[in-house]
Amino acid sequence: MVSLARRIYYLAIDQGIVQNNPFARRGAFKEEPTGKYISVSNFWKIYNNLMDYLKPVILVAYLTGMRRGEILELTWDRVDLKQGYLDLTPADTKTEEPRRIYFSSIEILKNIFVEAANKRHKGQDLVFTKKDGSPVPRNYIYNLFQQACEKVGVGPYRLHDLRHTFNTNMLKAGVDQTVTMKLTGYKTNAMYLRYSHIDQEMGGVGHGET
């Protein structure tokens, strides 16, 4: 709307209607991209076409709503395999607030960390790495995810849509908002609502997908 107003005033100046443009120095507001809901069937299509070292990363994002950085930078000292939870410190989270994420009650999620522990290289601090123990490429992961989407003909989806999907799934399951906010680290109600536009993000759910 700012851009439109700027254009209208410039046209008015050309016609001699006004002498100056009050919007000339006003920057246009950046519109945040709208998140999309990824159906269960589409998620597994994408998952099955990812490189093996990316599969646990993407599955953790899908099942916990964790951010990319929180997953890729997760270290073993934050993981309690015996009790079945992750302890993120303020230094680990975008909001700089600690967060505990339980995984023991979800078998598929628990198996991810057990398997990662079994494959851990000597001296390896990161939980998720490539087969040789080197870090998962932080930036290239976006391209790999989109390539998998294109390969199976779904989307296009962004990696961050996994977080939208987790939040919407919690809403569908009847999980209380305060619980979801604690699990995902949302600090404000506005941010929670931004990630849980269920009518818009459920996409295929209303058309026979689950």
CA distance 163 to 37: 9
Domains annotated on the chain, with CATH: 1-31 (no CATH), 40-207 (1.10.443.10)
Report pLDDT for 34.
61
Residue type, 130: K
With beta carbons less than 8 A apart as the criterion, state whether 41 and 205 touch.
Answer: no
Alpha carbon distances (Å) from 19 to 15, 16, 36: 10, 7, 44
What Rg do the C-alpha atoms of the chain give, in angstroms?
Answer: 21
Strand positions, DSSP E, the chain: 79-80, 85-88, 99-102
Report pLDDT for 178.
59
Report pLDDT for 155.
83
With beta carbons less than 8 A apart as the criterion, state whether 59 and 166 touch.
Answer: no
Q: Residue-wise pLDDT tens for the chain (210 aa)?
A: 777 777 687 677 767 788 777 766 665 555 454 678 899 999 999 999 999 999 999 999 999 988 889 999 999 999 999 999 999 888 888 777 888 888 888 899 999 999 999 999 999 999 999 988 899 988 889 889 999 999 999 988 988 899 888 888 877 767 655 555 555 544 555 544 554 544 444 444 433 344
CA distance 124 to 114: 15
SS3 40: helix
